[in-house]
Every structure is written in structure tokens, then in C-alpha cells.
Amino acid sequence: MADVRIPLLKSLLFIVFVGCSSDNCESFGEYSIGDKYAVVLNDNGKRELLYCTSSTCCFVGVKVGPEILDKCYYNRDQIIAVQVTENNTAYWIIDKKKEPFQYDQNLKGELDSLTHGPFLKVELHEALESFNIKLSEMRKLDFK
């Protein structure tokens, strides 16, 4: 009986190891968008944008931008987070070029200083111009 348990235990450990490796973060609803930012599923099954402080997958992080993320545009330098409600659509622009340097109690404050918005749709065009962002050159994640 012990001969059967050892291969079974090895198989289970392999499945757990492979299932929890950082290459499989998407299977947990996570989408890495670079520079420690990720779109993750919260406990309520809604998406949110986090600046990750955990080393593998984004299990721990600081929330950035809207409460609920419906769309996300991103490139090497910026993120545009979009939240759609019954009444309007709001946009946040997050500057990824500047990495926060305080990993203590001020990390949230630094991330807030790199986050601009919310902008309404009528304000977005002017904001994109002021930050020199071309929406057509960004990747898009749409969750609706």
C-alpha cells in the first residue's frame, strides 16, 4: 500500500506546484500588464487594477484607479482604466514610467500621485493630448 501512496503524493505535489507557478496566474483571473501592475479578480468576482507587491502572481497589492475595472488600455508607459456605470463612463490615466520608490506606508500615496482622473468621456480627449497618449497604439483588455 505504501508503494502506491508515494507516486500518488508526488503526482499531487506536481499538480499543486504547476498550478501555483507564476506562469499560471491567468488561470486565477490575473492579467499582468507590466511594471508590477495587474488586473485581478477580487473576492466579489469583479476586476480591479493592482500594483503588485507579491513576488509571484498578484496575491498582494495596492489598488489603483477605479473601484471596478470594466476595460483597460495599456502600453509600456501608461494605463487607461475604464469604469462603466449606469450614468456614465469614467477614465483614469496611470503613469507607469515612474516607479514608486516607497514600499512602506506611503506606497498608496505615491501611486495616487501617478494616477490622474477620473475623467469623463468629454474630458478624456484633452487628457490624452496633455499626456501625449495615442489610444490607437495601446493594447486593450475588455471584460464586459
Residue pLDDT, tens place only, 92-109: 999 998 877 666 668 888
Mean pLDDT calculated for residue range 12-17: 40
Q: Is residue 54 part of a domain?
A: yes
Strand pairing category for 31-34 and 37-41: antiparallel
Determine, yes or no, domain membership for 4. Answer: no
99 found inside a domain: yes
Task: Classify residue 117: in a domain, yes or no.
Answer: yes
pLDDT by residue (tens digit) across 36-78?
Answer: 999 998 888 899 999 998 888 888 889 999 999 999 999 999 9
Query: With 90 as the cut, is the pLDDT of residue 116 above it?
Result: yes
CB 109 within 8 A of CB 100: no
Phi and psi, residue 33, nearest 5°: -120, 20
Instruction: Give the residues across from 79 on adjacent strands.
Output: 74, 94
Element of type H or E holding 3: helix 2-19
Is residue 122, in this structure, part of any structural domain at all? yes
pTM, entire model: 0.78
Task: Note whether residue 106 is domain-resident.
Answer: yes
User: Is residue 5, in this structure, part of any structural domain at all?
Assistant: no
2 in a structural domain: no
In terms of pLDDT, which residue wins out, 29 or 63?
63
Range of the domain at 137: 23-142
What is the predicted pLDDT for the residue at 4? 53
Q: How many domains does the chain have?
A: 1
